[in-house]
Amino acid sequence: MARKIKISSGGITVGGALSHSPTADAIWSCLPITAEANTWGDEIYFTIPVQAGLEDTALEVVEKGDIAYWPTGAAFCIFFGPTPVSRKDEIRPASAVNVFGKIHGDTSALKKIRSGSRIVVEKAG
């Protein structure tokens, strides 16, 4: 059974699903999360109450729509385009992340979320 989530900020809502990994399990267990969004290029990130190390599958380059955990900042990250450290057309986090989920559908609305906005991640369905 897919573990579906809903991410909301202001009038913007996107859906996604979590994979099956130790990081995904830890995050699923602490939902719902309400935080203050930060943006870094086409990435939204915010600190969450989860402490996890890098998994063997950690990545230094991710795909559009990936949801990841950044151990360095204990942060939930949503990637929807290049970051300031991306090279050419890649999407590069500040450092390696554990990808634990994916946004479903169009990610373009995420560009409207600004730093300082309230963001909520909750279980859906």
* Contact by Cβ (8 Å): 62, 91: yes
Positive or negative: CA dihedral 82, 115, 17, 55: positive
The confidence score (pLDDT) of residue 2 equals 75
- E strand or H helix that includes residue 23: helix 22-29
Rounded to a whole number of angstroms, the distance between the first and last alpha carbons of the chain is 11
Going by pLDDT thresholds of 50, 70 and 90, the confidence category of residue 78 is very high
Domain ranges of the chain: 3-123
Instruction: Grade residue 61 by pLDDT with cuts at 50, 70 and 90.
Output: very high
Mean pLDDT across the chain: 96
- CB contact at 8 A, 48 and 67: no
Other CB atoms within 10 A of residue 91 CB? 21
Structure tokens belonging to residue 66: 């990936």
Convert the pLDDT of each residue in 13-41 to its tens digit. 999 999 999 999 999 999 999 999 999 99
CATH architecture of the domain 3-123 equals Beta Barrel (2.40)
- Whole-number percent of the chain with pLDDT over 70: 99
Q: How far apart are CA 82 and CA 63, in angstroms?
A: 10
